[in-house]
């Protein structure tokens, strides 16, 4: 569960967003098929792209990831993919499922592909039939034209095929991507209605960047020569579908959002979303490599075909009830077959919060009106979760029942969303306290909070709570996703100096030696940190501020805190204090403290260092009251 905090100030931000999922997965495939080593920058690291990387690795592509600078190096196979030793498991990734079908055929031997139920339910018939007509054999293990299936491409040739364009443009992209490595030329004709055409242009653009001869004879006829691919250095644009949420946020809040790296030169059709909100009344500025949206305070309804930019339908649908007139979205019946049945999901959830919304022949119509608070079911669909989060920025009381699904394409979504709140957060009365283990920071923080009439939050206790629950459930601390899921699931409450997790009193348990030993690892888990930070910000926002103690409060959680202090003391003094509390020997504790200091100060995410703006206070030889009075004075200055 995650309740979305409304904005208290309109945002005014420039955002750097993660790389495009669609381009990342195309570039990975093409680089994996190329001759030699390629390097990709601006890569998106999310569930869907990890699944693609895993699948390619299973087929012999060598990939070195560097998530610190969002890049990967890839040693391509020159089109000679290997038969994987095990089933290719595509989880929930639609692009991986579709792109891997022709890739599996390139392996020239039997390859089994399967995925989660969501994928088993999604259609693949057109693509399977096309591959069969190109000479591949496909055996369906459960249901015809569906996963799980076994592909054998030993007789795969090129040739001429006709595909229906009305189900998914991914079928067409999948064939195009593999085609330069087919034995013969591929001539692909598209019949029927063509949905999401910009994605085909994107595919061709990525292919050409790696030397393919992909000719668009007409909109409905493509000829791909069997040239293979050449290695390349390729820069991936930020994700335009992801940007739509922040543009929508600007439009409904009267704020201003600029997204860098996508503009007039973009190869992503979803940049067209800004054209829709522009027609509704927002001001849009388009540069070659940046797009800005500013809300004008008025938003009209619109009647719009979203056939070409259907991934942004949830974004528009979620903000539509705020417009002055009705909004009709058409030509998107096919989105019933995305991660969820998006037409039904959007209408159901809008109605749940009091909005009048109806299904139409090819889409939906949404009427303006009073919006009530409510809990949105996300259907495990990242786009439903992200779209309603935007509505929650201006409508109080919007809660998501399972927010973790954003990780499919945008693991840092809620952190970026918080950047819209920076202006509002700067107005909170925040005192951030940090310092090494045993520096007396907890005792001090409680004392200062009392003196200032603010509440106190022990953020370390939050990480400890996650560690305690993980240990109680015998979860492996190495399973980063599993531990982050625990963090997202549990409800941590602080009442009368006690810590409750889902109503169990864990005040003592979180100080056990086992938790002491486990907590550093839990606190170094980026997924856990992202969830905890969100909860910490939310805690302070509902209180108008507070005293927060912990590692990253002044640097990441509230960089605009009113005051940041870093309390420290010599290791000897810290060990002496802990020994007085616990009765254990000073030497034992010294050892522990030095180990903790090293661990905490050398980890990647939020290592223990004094924030540049923090006032450093050495408490050696000082009483709590002396230090607390000093901090109070600084805070009130």
Q: Compute the least distance from the CB of residue 377 to ligand DC, in Å.
A: 31
Spatial distance between the Cα atoms of 186 and 388, rounded to a whole number of angstroms = 42
Nearer to ligand DC, 26 or 464 (CB): 464
Q: Which parts of 306-356 are beta strand (E)?
A: 327-330
Nearer to ligand DC, 89 or 566 (CB): 566
CA atoms within 13 A on the CB side of 547: 23
Residue indicated by tokens 């290719």: 88
- Candidates 48-56, 354-362, 374-382, 550-558: pick the segment binding ligand DC (CB under 6 A): 550-558
Cα–Cα nearest to 232, from 40, 19, 67:
40
Residues 6+ apart with CB under 8 A from 496: none
Q: Compute the least distance from the CB of residue 629 to ligand DC, in Å.
A: 23
Q: Compute the least distance from the CB of residue 558 to ligand DC, in Å.
A: 11
Q: Compute the least distance from the CB of residue 415 to ligand DC, in Å.
A: 15
Spatial distance between the Cα atoms of 405 and 501, rounded to a whole number of angstroms = 23
Q: Which of 425, 552, 573, 592 binds ligand DC (CB under 6 A)?
A: 552
Residues 418-457 that bind ligand DC (CB under 6 A): 437
In the DSSP assignment, the letter for residue 79 is T
The answer to the question of residue 559 lying near ligand DC (CB under 6 A) is no
Nearer to ligand DC, 197 or 596 (CB): 596
Instruction: Using DSSP, state whether 463 is helix, strand or coil.
Output: helix
- The residue count for binding ligand DC (CB under 6 A) is 15
Cα–Cα nearest to 240, from 278, 211, 267, 213:
267
Nearer to ligand DC, 97 or 444 (CB): 444
Residue indicated by tokens 């420290």: 568
Q: Which of 240, 523, 547, 590 binds ligand DC (CB under 6 A)?
A: 523
Spatial distance between the Cα atoms of 634 and 636, rounded to a whole number of angstroms = 6
Q: Compute the least distance from the CB of residue 182 to ligand DC, in Å.
A: 52
To 10 degrees, the CA torsion angle through 141, 94, 163, 158?
-70
* CB of 248 closer than 8 Å to CB of 390: yes
- Pick the catalytic residue: 311, 381, 418, 425? 311
The question of whether 311 is a catalytic residue gets the answer yes
CA atoms within 13 A on the CB side of 107: 26
Nearer to ligand DC, 85 or 497 (CB): 497
- Candidates 64-72, 214-222, 386-394, 545-553: pick the segment binding ligand DC (CB under 6 A): 545-553
- Candidates 7-15, 201-209, 549-557, 586-594: pick the segment binding ligand DC (CB under 6 A): 549-557
Residues 6+ apart with CB under 8 A from 602: none
| Interface pattern 454-473 for ligand DC (x via CB under 6 A) | -----xxx-xx---------
Nearer to ligand DC, 291 or 499 (CB): 499
Q: Which two tokens stand for residue 134?
A: 């190109």
Q: Compute the least distance from the CB of residue 488 to ligand DC, in Å.
A: 17
Nearer to ligand DC, 124 or 464 (CB): 464
Q: Compute the least distance from the CB of residue 314 to ligand DC, in Å.
A: 33
Category of 78 on φ-ψ map: left (φ > 0), alpha (ψ -120 to 50) or beta: left
Nearer to ligand DC, 48 or 552 (CB): 552
Report CA Rg, the chain: 27
In the DSSP assignment, the letter for residue 58 is H
Nearer to ligand DC, 383 or 577 (CB): 577
Residue indicated by tokens 């012999």: 60
Residues 366-405 that bind ligand DC (CB under 6 A): none
Spatial distance between the Cα atoms of 499 and 61, rounded to a whole number of angstroms = 48
State in Å, rounded, how far the first CA of the chain is from the last one.
39
Q: Tell me the longest C-alpha to C-alpha distance in the chain.
A: 84
Residues 576-615 that bind ligand DC (CB under 6 A): 600, 606
How many secondary structure helices (H) and strands (E) does the chain include?
A: 22, 33
- Candidates 269-277, 349-357, 385-393, 546-554: pick the segment binding ligand DC (CB under 6 A): 546-554
Nearer to ligand DC, 146 or 516 (CB): 516
Q: Which of 382, 551, 564, 578 binds ligand DC (CB under 6 A)?
A: 551
Q: Is the dihedral of CA 400, 406, 408, 411 positive or negative?
A: negative
Cα–Cα nearest to 465, from 433, 500, 435, 497:
500
Cα–Cα nearest to 513, from 464, 470, 583:
464
Spatial distance between the Cα atoms of 346 and 362, rounded to a whole number of angstroms = 14
Q: Which parts of 231-366 are beta strand (E)?
A: 233-235, 256-260, 283-286, 290-294, 303-305, 327-330, 357-359, 364-366
Q: Compute the least distance from the CB of residue 454 to ligand DC, in Å.
A: 17
Q: Compute the least distance from the CB of residue 63 to ligand DC, in Å.
A: 30
Nearer to ligand DC, 11 or 438 (CB): 438
* CB of 274 closer than 8 Å to CB of 264: no
Q: Compute the least distance from the CB of residue 467 to ligand DC, in Å.
A: 8
Q: Compute the least distance from the CB of residue 568 to ligand DC, in Å.
A: 13
* CB of 518 closer than 8 Å to CB of 526: no
- Taking CA atoms, 239 is separated from 154, 260, 387, in Å, by 37, 10, 15
Residues that bind ligand DC (CB under 6 A): 437, 459-461, 463-464, 519-520, 523, 550-553, 600, 606
Which residues have a catalytic role annotated?
311
């Amino acid at each position: 569960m995650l309740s979305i905090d409304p904005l208290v100030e309109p945002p005014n931000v420039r955002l750097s967003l993660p790389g495009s999922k669609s381009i990342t997965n195309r570039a990975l495939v093409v680089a994996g098929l190329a001759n030699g080593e390629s390097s990709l920058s601006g890569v998106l690291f999310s569930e869907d792209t990890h699944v693609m990387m895993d699948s390619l690795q299973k087929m012999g592509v060598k990939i070195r990831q560097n998530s610190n600078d969002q890049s990967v190096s890839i040693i391509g196979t020159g089109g000679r993919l290997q038969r994987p030793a095990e089933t290719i498991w595509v989880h929930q990734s639609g692009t991986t499922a579709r792109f891997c079908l022709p890739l599996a055929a390139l392996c020239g031997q039997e390859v089994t592909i399967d995925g989660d139920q969501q994928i088993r339910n999604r259609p693949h018939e057109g693509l399977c039939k096309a591959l069969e007509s190109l000479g591949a054999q496909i055996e369906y293990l459960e249901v015809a034209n569906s996963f799980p299936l076994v592909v054998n491409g030993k007789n795969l040739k090129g040739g001429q095929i006709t595909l229906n364009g009305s189900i998914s443009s991914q079928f067409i992209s999948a064939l195009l991507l593999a085609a330069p490595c087919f034995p013969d030329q591929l001539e692909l004709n598209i019949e029927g209605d063509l949905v999401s055409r910009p994605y085909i242009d994107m595919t061709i653009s990525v292919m050409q960047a790696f030397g393919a001869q992909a000719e668009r004879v007409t909109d409905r006829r493509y000829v791909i020569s069997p040239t293979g691919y050449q290695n390349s250095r390729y820069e991936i644009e930020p994700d335009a579908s992801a940007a739509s949420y922040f543009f929508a946020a600007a439009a409904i809040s009267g704020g201003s959002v600029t997204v860098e790296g996508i503009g007039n030169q973009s190869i992503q059709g979803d940049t067209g979303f800004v054209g829709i909100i522009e027609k509704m009344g927002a001001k849009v500025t388009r540069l070659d490599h940046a797009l800005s949206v500013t809300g004008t305070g008025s938003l009209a309804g619109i009647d719009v075909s979203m056939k070409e930019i259907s991934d942004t339908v949830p974004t528009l649908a979620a903000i539509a009830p705020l417009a002055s007139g009705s909004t009709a979205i058409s030509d998107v019946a096919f989105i019933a077959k995305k991660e969820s049945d998006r037409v039904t999901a959007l209408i159901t959830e809008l109605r749940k919060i009091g909005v009048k919304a109806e299904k139409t022949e090819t889409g939906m119509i949404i009427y303006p009106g009073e919006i009530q608070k409510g809990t949105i079911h996300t259907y495990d669909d990242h786009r439903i979760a992200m779209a309603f989060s935007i509505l929650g920025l201006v409508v109080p009381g919007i809660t998501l029942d399972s927010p973790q699904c954003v990780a499919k394409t945008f693991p840092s979504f809620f952190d970026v969303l918080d950047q819209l709140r920076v202006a509002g957060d700067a107005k909170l009365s925040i005192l951030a306290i940090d310092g090494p283990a045993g520096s007396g920071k907890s005792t001090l923080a409680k004392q200062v909070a009392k003196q200032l009439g603010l509440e106190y939050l022990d953020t370390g206790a939050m990480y400890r709570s996650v560690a305690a629950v993980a240990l109680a459930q015998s979860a492996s601390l190495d399973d980063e996703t599993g531990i982050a899921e625990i963090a997202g699931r549990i409800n941590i409450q602080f009442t009368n100096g006690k810590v409750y997790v889902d109503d169990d009193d864990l005040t003592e348990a979180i100080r056990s030696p086992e938790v002491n030993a486990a907590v550093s690892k839990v606190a170094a888990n980026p997924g856990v940190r992202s969830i905890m930070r969100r909860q910490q910000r939310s805690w302070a926002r509902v209180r108008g501020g507070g005293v927060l103690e912990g590692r990253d409060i002044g640097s990441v959680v509230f960089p605009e805190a009113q005051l940041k202090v870093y309390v420290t003391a010599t290791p000897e003094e810290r060990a002496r204090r802990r020994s007085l509390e616990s009765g254990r020997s000073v030497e034992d504790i010294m050892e522990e403290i030095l180990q903790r200091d090293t661990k905490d100060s050398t980890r990647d995410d939020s290592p223990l260092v004094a924030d540049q703006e923090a006032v450093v206070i050495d408490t050696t030889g000082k009483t709590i009251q002396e230090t607390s009075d000093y901090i109070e004075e600084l805070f009130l200055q």
